[in-house]
Structure formats: structure tokens, C-alpha cells
Amino acid sequence: MKGIVTAIETTGTVSGRELILDEDIPIKGPERVRVLILVPQEEDIDEAEWLRAGSVNEAFSFLREREEDVYTIEDGRPFHDQG
């Protein structure tokens, strides 16, 4: 697929290899298309999941370098949550 692309937004249902759209789209087919499926999250990601994702994501691998380890237990002041 080369050149200019046009985006059409609609909703639908995925069942196995079948995609059923909620409304007609303005394409006279058959025509090859590129499909992007966005699935809503059922709930927020909890803190443990964020920490796990950050610990295995290579985008943060630089934090394992010795030069990035700049803080010690003596740095800062204790925080006591009053909540």
C-alpha cells in the first residue's frame, strides 16, 4: 500500500477472523484495505503492572547503567503519607 491514504473511523465487532462494522463505509469494493483495531481497556493499569512494564521495556534499559545510579538511601527526606 503506497501513496496517500484516507482514514475512516467507525466501530464494529471482531469475532475470530471476521470483522462486522456497525455502519456502511464509502468504499466500492472489493478493495484491499489496512485495518487498525483499537481495543478499549476494561480497567486502569495498576501500579504493579506499570512497574513490571517499565522494568522489562528496553526503552528504559539505560537506567541500568552505573552512571544513572546517582541516588543513595541518604538522599532526600522521608515521606510519611498522611492520607
- Whose grid coordinates read 493499569? 45
DSSP string, 22-69: SS--S--SS-----------SSPPPHHHHHHHHHH-GGGGGGGSGGG-
pTM, two decimals, is 0.43
Render pLDDT for 3-46 as a digit per residue (tens, 0 to 9). 888 899 999 999 999 999 999 999 888 988 888 988 887 777 78
User: Which band of pLDDT confidence, cut at 50, 70 and 90, is reported for residue 1?
Assistant: low
The conformation of residue 75, written as its DSSP 8-state character, comes to S
User: How is the chain split into domains, by residue range?
Assistant: 42-73
| Dist. CA 28–CA 41, nearest whole Å | 33
Backbone angles phi, psi at 16, to 5 degrees: 65, -125
What local confidence, expressed as pLDDT, does residue 6 receive? 87
Query: How far is C-alpha 17 from the geometric centre of its chain's CA atoms?
Result: 22
Render pLDDT for 61-83 as a digit per residue (tens, 0 to 9). 888 899 988 888 888 888 888 87
